[in-house]
Amino acid sequence: MSKGKSIWLLGERGMLGRQIAVELQRRGLAFLASDREVDIADFEALKFFSRGKTISWIINCAAYTAVDHAETDREGAFRVNARGAENLARLAAGLGARLVHFSTDYVFDGAARRPYGERDEPRPLSQYGASKWQGEKLLAANWPAAFIFRVSWLYGVFGGNFVNTMLRLFAEKDAVRVVNDQFGSPTYARGLARNIVRLVGSDSARFGLYHYCDSGVISWHDFAAAIMERALEHNLLAKKISLIAIPTADFPTVAVRPAYAALDNRKVVSELGFEVRDWRANLNDFFAEKIQRASVPS
């Protein structure tokens, strides 16, 4: 391990995990990595993987993220998101390792009309949100040397997310319907990954619960319009298509989403010195990153 640190990244093949792996490599920080093959819900599997290794930081990006599926698979969601988080806290406690964990804006019910702060009481509307909240509580109860970051509307170049889905739909269809009565703040995964890797690199001990997202509150429809504008500018889309604003009632999903999910990101700035940027600036960076990746032969 370089620079005296020994890092274990879990969920390395997920959207955020891949981005954090890229940032760790960029900063020359060596790390161990695992995904499904080390089941976080299985404490013995975690112990077995860590045996004989020196681990000073655990970054957990592993999670059950199938929000709609969780409604009919409550047990599966709680197994990973609640018991998995508890297991990692117990493991970190045994190793004396610092822990970074991620949660979600879906712990809130969306009734607020101003960004949610860390002191606001969760009231999840979905099984996914409930499982993530339970995970937060179990993690905090079992190991105080932990950072929990609630993030909202995560997107990035890797994996399935709203931005990649919109780009695909814009290319396939003449019209796309997008809800305009759900509001929140996007989170660009690379921006988050950079802040997390800086935090780990600095060996911070300012543990606690934090809200993280890009600045600005928008609707999914606003977000889709901005994505289309940039896709046209960068010639990633041949022609403008029709974007139809619809109410949530016209786009039913199995799990209920909060109507208002914006997070107040001031604490990560004041306590941790994180760099947070306006969502528009980060969306520009996303397109630059996407184009740059497409130009590099794999």
Ligand X SMILES: NC(=O)c1ccc[n+]([C@@H]2O[C@H](COP(=O)([O-])OP(=O)(O)OC[C@H]3O[C@@H](n4cnc5c(N)ncnc54)[C@H](OP(=O)(O)O)[C@@H]3O)[C@@H](O)[C@H]2O)c1
Question: In which element (H, E) is residue 31 found?
Answer: strand 31-34
How far is residue 81 CA from its own chain's centroid?
13
Smallest separation, CB 25 to ligand X (Å):
17
Q: Alpha-carbon distance 264 to 117, whole Å?
A: 5
Among 9, 21, 55, 61, binds ligand X (CB under 6 A): 61
Regarding 84 and contact with ligand X (CB under 6 A), the answer is yes
Regarding 104 and contact with ligand X (CB under 6 A), the answer is yes
Smallest separation, CB 257 to ligand X (Å):
11
Q: Alpha-carbon distance 289 to 131, whole Å?
A: 33
* Number of CB atoms found within 10 A of residue 128's CB: 28
Contact positions with ligand X (CB under 6 A) in 142-171: 151-154, 159
Smallest separation, CB 129 to ligand X (Å):
10
Q: Which amino acid is at 171?
A: A
Please work out, in degrees rounded to the nearest 5, the angle formed at the alpha carbon of residue 64 by the alpha carbons of 150 and 122.
Answer: 35
Q: Is the separation of the CB atoms in 103 and 150 below 8 Å?
A: yes
Smallest separation, CB 158 to ligand X (Å):
8
Structure tokens at 278: 């306006």
Cβ proximity to ligand X: between 26 and 36 the closer is 36
Regarding 262 and contact with ligand X (CB under 6 A), the answer is no
Reference 60, options 200, 166, 162; nearest CA is 200
Residue 157 CB-half CA count within 13 A: 19
What is the chain's percent helix, strand, coil content, to nearest 5?
45, 20, 40
Among 1, 27, 32, 35, binds ligand X (CB under 6 A): 35
Cβ proximity to ligand X: between 14 and 122 the closer is 14
Please say whether the dihedral angle defined by the alpha carbons of residues 9, 10, 15 and 18, taken in this order, is positive or negative: positive
Cβ proximity to ligand X: between 2 and 48 the closer is 48
Stretch that binds ligand X, among 56-64, 193-201, 224-232, 257-265 (CB under 6 A): 56-64
Q: Is 155 a catalytic residue?
A: no
Smallest separation, CB 66 to ligand X (Å):
8
Q: Which of 64, 116, 128, 210 is catalytic?
A: 128
Regarding 15 and contact with ligand X (CB under 6 A), the answer is yes
Residues 6 or more apart from 22 whose CB is under 8 A from it?
190, 193
Smallest separation, CB 36 to ligand X (Å):
5
Regarding 62 and contact with ligand X (CB under 6 A), the answer is yes
Cβ proximity to ligand X: between 84 and 115 the closer is 84
Cβ proximity to ligand X: between 82 and 228 the closer is 82
Nearest residue to ligand X, by Cβ distance, number only: 14
Please say whether the dihedral angle defined by the alpha carbons of residues 124, 134, 82 and 146, taken in this order, is positive or negative: positive
Catalytic residues: 128
Binding-site ranges for ligand X (CB under 6 A): 11, 13-17, 35-36, 39-41, 61-65, 80, 84, 102, 104, 132, 151-154, 159
